[in-house]
A and B are shown apart, each in its own frame.
Chain A
């Protein structure tokens, strides 16, 4: 089954404690992204990757890091989480740009206290 898998689904952490949210896709897609969803703002792109070792900032990259060492994996790293990073996070992959729909993971609800 074609899917994007995120872990964990839920996470509560304390300010400043480094965390990683994993994302893996089994569709051999080149393009992967991370989005955060906040009420009234929809989804906003954090970072994206067009292929292995190729990543770039999206609209809201501050406080986040990513890496793309393998095609299937695209982890999101919060080196020093803060309460304003409390949000619902989605990983997405696409076979290409433009007309291709994005496939989304199940989401990770992160709370930073």
Chain B
């Protein structure tokens, strides 16, 4: 069975501080995909990034960066120089590659990030 754990339920930082969100996953599959979604206060879910299990290269997109470490089954997300607009709930999710089972995204419990001015 798949499982995603986001141990941090809430993180509060002051603007311009860096914040790292942890994500640890469990799966028996050798091929799988990891995702991060953002849920701002307005409630919609916004796709941020996808990473496949064969690509351990870290990725940076503006102030966002992701660190995928297969050895520790982790896919952590860092926001550099946080801004008030980064305040949201962030979800890590896992999908395997099988046709039927792969339709499901297994989500972590989410981490609420509050960035104070």
Contacts and interface: CB of A to CB of B under 8 A. Distances in A.
B9 interface: yes
- For the side of the interface on B, what is the size category? 20 to 34
Chain A interface size, as a band, is: 20 to 34
A101 B44 contact: no
Interface of B: 4, 6, 9, 31, 33, 35, 43-45, 47, 50, 52, 91, 93, 95-100, 102-105, 107-110
A94 B103 contact: yes
B95 A98 contact: yes
Nearest to B44: A106
Give the secondary structure class of A's interface.
Answer: strand
Given A99-B33, A99-B52, A41 B102 contact: no
Contacts of B35: 101
Nearest to A105: B44
Contact of A48 (B31, B93, B98, B104): B104
Given A40-B109, A43-B107, A50-B100, A107 B95 contact: no
Interface of A: 31, 33, 35, 40-45, 48, 50, 56, 58-59, 88, 90, 92, 94, 97-99, 101-104, 106-107
B34 to A, nearest CB: 10
A76 to B, nearest CB: 16
B99 A97 contact: yes
Contact of B103 (A97, A101, A103, A104): A97
Nearest to A41: B109
B94 to A, nearest CB: 11
Nearest to A44: B107
Contacts of A50: 99-100, 103
A98 B104 contact: no
Nearest to B6: A42
A5 to B, nearest CB: 12
